[in-house]
Amino acid sequence: MRILCPFCGERASSEFAYLGDASAARADPQGTEAMARFLEAVYFRENPAGVHTELWYHESGCRSWLRVKRDTCSHQIFDVAYAKEALRT
């Protein structure tokens, strides 16, 4: 598997560290149902067989956090963006 880092170019996946599902967002501790939302964010996952949006860290490269769209059945990668930019849009 090779990941196209927007800063470094295409690199082997072994240069990257994996964090997991990018849709798991930290809940607002002051918000309503904070406990239930933390439970969802920490433990529960969609775990799709197909397109999965996930966070990778280019540990042995530019050290950017990346948001990667990847097919979990074929390991094909559709889209890579800086995680920061993906958050802004």
Taking the C-alpha atoms of residue 74 and residue 38, their distance in angstroms, rounded to an integer, is 31
Tell which one of 4, 10, 12, 87 touches other proteins (CB under 8 A): 12
The answer to whether the beta carbons of residues 68 and 53 sit under 8 Å apart is yes
Which positions from 22 through 51 interact with other proteins, judged by CB under 8 A? 39-40, 42-49
Taking the C-alpha atoms of residue 89 and residue 84, their distance in angstroms, rounded to an integer, is 9
Judged by CB under 8 A, does residue 57 bind other proteins?
no
Q: Which residues here bind other proteins, judged by CB under 8 A?
A: 1, 12-14, 18, 20-21, 39-40, 42-49, 52, 54, 70, 72-75
